[in-house]
Amino acid sequence: MLSKSNLQDLVRGAAFLGSGGGGNLAAGASLLATLGDDASAYPGLVSSSDLAPDSWGCLIADMGTVGAFSKHQAQAACDAFVRLQRDFLGPQRKFSVVAPIEIGSENTLIPFAVAQQFRIPVLDSDTCGRAIPELNMSPLASGNHPESALSNGDGVTMSCSVPDAATLERVLRPLMSLSTFGNSASLAFWPFQLSQVPNFFVEGSLGTLIRIGQLLGSLPSSKSIVDTLASCGLKARLGFSGQLVDVLFASRRGFDRATASFLAKTGESGTAYFQNEALLFETGDDHLAVCTAPHSICFLEQGKGPRTLAELPDCKGSHFLIYFVQAHPHLLVQQLVQPFRKALDRLKYRGPFRY
């Protein structure tokens, strides 16, 4: 059974491994409050082997800018879940489990709000092992069931069935900037059967987040962080250490686009480029790319804890440790590398992927 401290560790670990995105820490704290203090009412965390292979699950996520969050977000996710279950499974069947699409302090926790409401478990898996700026970057984008439901938690709910994830991204993303959604909406989408999990999910990832979050709560050394990530099957390194100098920030068409500038004690500069998530980190006056998506760029404010893009503007002057974490093999297949390549092209980076 999960404890409240487990869920607090989950939010902390997800904020770290989300590569700057997947929601913000305040959203994670708000969802924790929604779940309450009674641990006996928390959803269970299950592996795919705990359920029948032909059982159905779906993904739950909040879509929009990293800093946007509504008091209706948990209700929106529940409304979207009800709509998808009705439209896809019909009146006689129900989803047995829900799962997050990605890692992030908001998007890893939002499935728990739905699971608690409908008394079903959460799958100990996500599809990416990091946060992603676009739906078509998820391995499950190549699954067989593109159905989705969208809600704002205030009475507006809609269904959508399109031929592929790229089309779904193009259809839904512009809606986020409408006043109806306020840069954020909740999705229930992409129904899957448990037999698909090994091919499309990073199994055990939520348990890993709890372990990493517990470690980060003790303000560990850099070596302890790298070693713990390695023991969880994640290859990582400390890529840059320096003071956060400035953050240039703009929200457009359902995305937060930002540039964060750092300065090391040696005088070397470092720059992180974001499209909701950190996609590129460069160093020096010659802008040498040292890490690119789909690998993760993770931000730890020294002496305090992990930070997402939403918190960075309030952290100017603080010292940061920036870790690079190698992408899960699921993200390195050709069909997923292409959308990451396009995102990097928009940042005017056309070199090779780097870790």
Find the mean pLDDT for residues 167-183: 80
Domain with CATH 2.40.390.10 in the chain: 220-346
Burial 164-186 (b: 16+ CB within 10 A, else e): ebbebbeebbebbbeeebbbbbb
Cis peptide bond upstream of 100, omega within 30: no
pLDDT (0 to 100) of residue 212: 97
Position 61, amino acid: A
In which band, very low, low, confident or very high, does the pLDDT at 183 lie, cut at 50, 70 and 90? Answer: low
Residues pairing with 288 in the sheet: 283
pLDDT (0 to 100) of residue 72: 82
Position 55, amino acid: S
Q: Quick check: 9 and 209 in contact, CB under 8 A?
A: yes
pLDDT in tens, 236-249: 999 999 999 999 98
Least confident of 67-76, 192-201, 273-282, 314-323: 67-76
Fold category of 220-346 in CATH: CV3147-like (2.40.390)
Query: Is CATH 3.40.1610.10 what the domain over 4-203 is classified as, yes or no?
Result: yes
Provide the angle, in degrees to the nearest 10, between the axes of the packed helices 25-35 and 4-17: 160
Domain with CATH 3.40.1610.10 in the chain: 4-203
Q: How far apart are CA 176 and CA 201, in angstroms?
A: 26
**Could you give the C-alpha distances from 187 to 64, 279, 295, 337, in angstroms and in order?**
11, 23, 25, 24
Q: How far apart are CA 324 and CA 353, in angstroms?
A: 13
| pTM for the full predicted model | 0.94
Least confident of 8-17, 123-132, 178-187, 276-285: 178-187
Find the mean pLDDT for residues 65-75: 78
Tokens found for residue 46: 């299950």
Tokens found for residue 7: 């869920």
pLDDT (0 to 100) of residue 145: 77
